[in-house]
Amino acid sequence: MEAPLSHGKGAVPQPPILHLGSLFASLKLLERRRRRAASRTAACAAPPVLPTATQPALVARLWHLLDDWLLGPCRRRLGALALSPVARGVALVCAAGALLRWYARRRRQQQPPGATGRRVCVVGGGIAGAGAAWSLRRSGFDVTLYEQKPALGGNAKSHGWQVPLKAGASAGASSSAGGDGVAAPAATTREVRTGLSVLAWPGELFHTYNALLAHLGIETVEHVLRFFVGRRRATGCGDSSGGSSGDGSSGAVECVFAHDRESHTDEAQLAARQPWLAADLARWRRLAAFVRRVNGFFAPAPLRRAAATSGPGGGAAAVAVAVRGKSCYRNSLLNPLNVVPLRALARWGFGVSDRFWGEVFVPVHTSTFLEAHMDDLPAVLAELLEDIVPLAEPGAPPVMRTWAAGNADAVFEALAAGLQGAGGGEGKLRLGCEVEAVRLEECGGGGGGGAVLPSGSAAASTRSRTVAVVEDDEGRTERFDHVVFACGAPAALRALKRFSSDTASSGGWLALPRALAQQCWHWLATATLRNVRYVESRDALFSSGEAHSDSAAALPPQFEGELLQRFCNYVEVQGGDGDGGGALAYENTFIVSSWSPPALAPDVAGQRPMLVSYGCKERLRNTPAALFERNVTGREAHPCLTTTNLALSTAVWPRLQGLHGGALYFAGSSVTPGNGHDLSLLSGLVVAAAVGAPFPFVENEAALSDFHALQGMMGLG
Ligand SMILES: Cc1cc2nc3c(=O)[nH]c(=O)nc-3n(C[C@H](O)[C@H](O)[C@H](O)COP(=O)(O)OP(=O)(O)OC[C@H]3O[C@@H](n4cnc5c(N)ncnc54)[C@H](O)[C@@H]3O)c2cc1C
């Protein structure tokens, strides 16, 4: 081991501030060795031309100057901090991250300007991938979109329900005369196609998604979505027998919380019936106002700057709109509420009871988070949650937007329109085609890597560039200038498992540092992908559900009619002892037929309940086949909002984007700090912009401001 350096200051310990101390030590050591070698050479050869004796003295003086003048004061001020291994670790990670970002930016800047001929592969046909592909294609890129399922949409699935027609209603074309002139029998049912998983969005917050739909000419409508939480005293999923009294006695279901229901909006009535709830709602109101104030104080500057400098309508008015307007992206890393658990703040800061948490907050937000584990949600989210599904004011139910057609099929059709081959052939849209492996190759510049790029590809014409080789499940390989992973983290991990790079072999020993950097990147990327956690890993509630029409089994009889008419979600709380103790279990039934626009058409309205139930398997085990539609699985679909996922999305993902000369990017729900259609779409557009496609909605102040904010968060600004 090296002896600690002493440089005229006695035995004072040397705190390694950013390891500069050891750097200088190494320099001195090198210089000493060089001197020794030089003197050996001098003994047996001609004397050197330059008087080298002055050089060590120069180095030593430089070292003393730097050490005393620069590091000395730092050490005195930061002594304790600098010594702490945590601080050293953080400094090291920050320095490495900054270096990686600088390197990534430098390599990205070496990309050939313009889109012509540049080939992009997008993996995943959810909203992130389809959005990125659309944006890149309209900017002139040559895009190929791979989707492993037979249809685009990802989580935005749709389903066609056969609904009996009302007496006297006709099913249009189906009841007209047949081709042979014989009148076809009048149809008695009609297909009603609704969304199945992604159903609606908060219109006030999803600026980019709204802008996209307006641009594509897709009609949307507003709907009031009321939530209903019922409490069943007796445990057991199969127990639906005693649910007729409504008085909260054993086996019965009582209404705990309901939006826009007289018993919950009339304060006097609420205080008389459920005094604990009235008191907790007042406390929750105070908490929400507090979080709003703190978040407002820490609102990040990019929102203001972006609005101030953007678009033809920029200026002071735009600033006010962007800052005051609601946004999913209005967060600052400096906000202390990022690290305060919401539950702790509610309980210890505002006295909100455990009962409110377990019987109101968690059940209502099972639909938001698709899980019931919410203890580690950061308090910073309370503002956003109140904007999406307000609890503080039960009389003001959430107002959401949805597609007038009831499903997102038309959106994906429009996004992929230019990718289809002539006559609906495969073209650049690879449906039912899974990307199995991605690896890198060095091409051009006489490197001899052997990569053959399609003629016209930008990479083929440049000096030396990294290209990505994509292999699909049929063993076909294609080379691209860029790959955008817009699939879940596990799929990206599988594709990168066989990652290899022939950079070193193609560029000789000079390419070794780059090959080393690529391997480091690969190690960090796979470690990150492996650590993205999905809701099913800790809560199986939403990992599989059933689409059905068995309302008698899924809904409590005394509220069935009311629920089917007015509410969008029925969440049942079971187990526990009623005042927050014991484990609670939840069932969640989405009542699609009560509000989805096509289900409200006059010829079918109220004719058939359309329900999607989660956690109700037992209860639905005797459902007749005629009432059962299909299973709905949501595996690897919803990353949970854990501290790890948030830390990955804000601190690690930005360092991994666009490395290898912009060859590999990541978009979609696994890289965004939250999960929603707007976040995924915007992440796709941010990546598309990094590749070279301008943001398509620059004239929309709110969307542009969100874009800049997410760009910063994703490290692609
Ligand atoms: C049950 C449920 C309900 C939801 N409800 C809402 C809602 O109401 N509103 C809302 O805003 N958000 C909702 N979300 C959130 C929703 O997940 C996001 O809004 C968004 O759909 C995520 O889009 P994405 O493109 O990031 O990912 P996904 O939609 O998951 O798309 C990823 C795609 O990649 C494909 N893929 C995976 N691996 C490969 C491979 N190797 N090769 C090729 N393709 C591959 C998958 O098949 C999939 O189509 C819901 C999510 C779930 C699970």
Residue ranges of domains in the chain, CATH in brackets: 115-154+409-532+642-654+662-713 (3.50.50.60), 226-288+342-398+536-633 (no CATH)
Condensed to tens digits (0 to 9), the pLDDT of residues 450-478 reads 333 444 444 444 456 788 999 999 999 99
Q: Are strands 142-147 and 429-431 parallel, antiparallel or unpaired?
A: parallel
Residue with tokens 């480091």: 520
Q: Are strands 158-164 and 189-195 parallel, antiparallel or unpaired?
A: antiparallel
Condensed to tens digits (0 to 9), the pLDDT of residues 256-273 reads 999 999 888 888 888 888
Distance CA 675, CA 640 (A): 8
Condensed to tens digits (0 to 9), the pLDDT of residues 31-47 reads 566 666 655 544 444 43
Higher pLDDT, 658 or 614: 614
Q: Which of 519, 559, 284 is nearest to 276 (CA)?
A: 284
Condensed to tens digits (0 to 9), the pLDDT of residues 365-390 reads 999 998 999 998 999 999 999 999 99
| Coil/strand/helix, residue 505 | helix
In this prediction, residue 244 has a pLDDT band, given cuts at 50, 70 and 90, of very low
Distance CA 453, CA 458 (A): 9
What's the pLDDT at 318?
Answer: 43
157 CA from centroid of ligand 1 (Å): 9
Q: Are the C-beta atoms of residues 125 and 149 closer than 8 Å to each other? A: yes
Q: Which of 16, 31, 22 is nearest to 1 (CA)?
A: 22
- 543 ligand 1 Cβ < 6 A: no
Q: Are the C-beta atoms of residues 194 and 598 closer than 8 Å to each other? A: yes
Sort 462 into a burial class: Cβ within 10 Å, 0-12 / 13-18 / 19+.
middle
155 CA from centroid of ligand 1 (Å): 4
* Mean confidence (pLDDT) of the chain: 80
Distance CA 239, CA 611 (A): 19
Rounded mean pLDDT, 602-624: 94
- 25 ligand 1 Cβ < 6 A: no
pLDDT for residue 314 is more than 70: no
Q: What tokens appear for 143 in the block?
A: 């895009």
Distance CA 371, CA 586 (A): 9
- What letter represents residue 84's amino acid? S
Q: Are strands 119-123 and 482-485 parallel, antiparallel or unpaired?
A: parallel
The residue whose CB lies within 8 Å of the most ligand 1 atoms, and thus the one to mutate among 149, 194, 198, 471, is 198
Condensed to tens digits (0 to 9), the pLDDT of residues 565-585 reads 999 999 999 987 655 556 899
- 127 ligand 1 Cβ < 6 A: yes
What's the pLDDT at 521?
Answer: 81
Condensed to tens digits (0 to 9), the pLDDT of residues 650-673 reads 888 888 898 777 889 999 998 888
Calculate what percentage of the chain has a pLDDT beyond 70: 70
Residue with tokens 């709204």: 210
What's the pLDDT at 648?
Answer: 82
What's the pLDDT at 103?
Answer: 66
Rounded mean pLDDT, 313-325: 44
| Coil/strand/helix, residue 542 | coil
pLDDT for residue 643 is more than 70: yes
Q: Are the C-beta atoms of residues 538 and 371 closer than 8 Å to each other? A: yes
Beta bridge partners of 483: 121, 664
What's the pLDDT at 517?
Answer: 77
| Coil/strand/helix, residue 119 | strand
- DSSP-derived secondary structure for 147-208: ESSSSS-TT--EEEEEEEPPTT---GGGGSB-TTSPBPPPPSEEEEEEESS---B-TTT-HH
Most confident range (mean pLDDT) of 316-320, 380-384, 441-445, 593-597 is: 593-597
Distance CA 519, CA 215 (A): 42
Q: Are strands 142-147 and 119-123 parallel, antiparallel or unpaired?
A: parallel
Which of ligand 1's atoms lies nearest the C-alpha of 430? 43
In this prediction, residue 313 has a pLDDT band, given cuts at 50, 70 and 90, of very low
- 200 ligand 1 Cβ < 6 A: yes
Residue nearest to atom 17 of ligand 1 (CA): 155
| Coil/strand/helix, residue 247 | coil
- 503 ligand 1 Cβ < 6 A: no
- 593 ligand 1 Cβ < 6 A: no
CA 574 to chain centre: 31
pLDDT for residue 200 is more than 80: yes
Calculate what percentage of the chain has a pLDDT beyond 90: 49
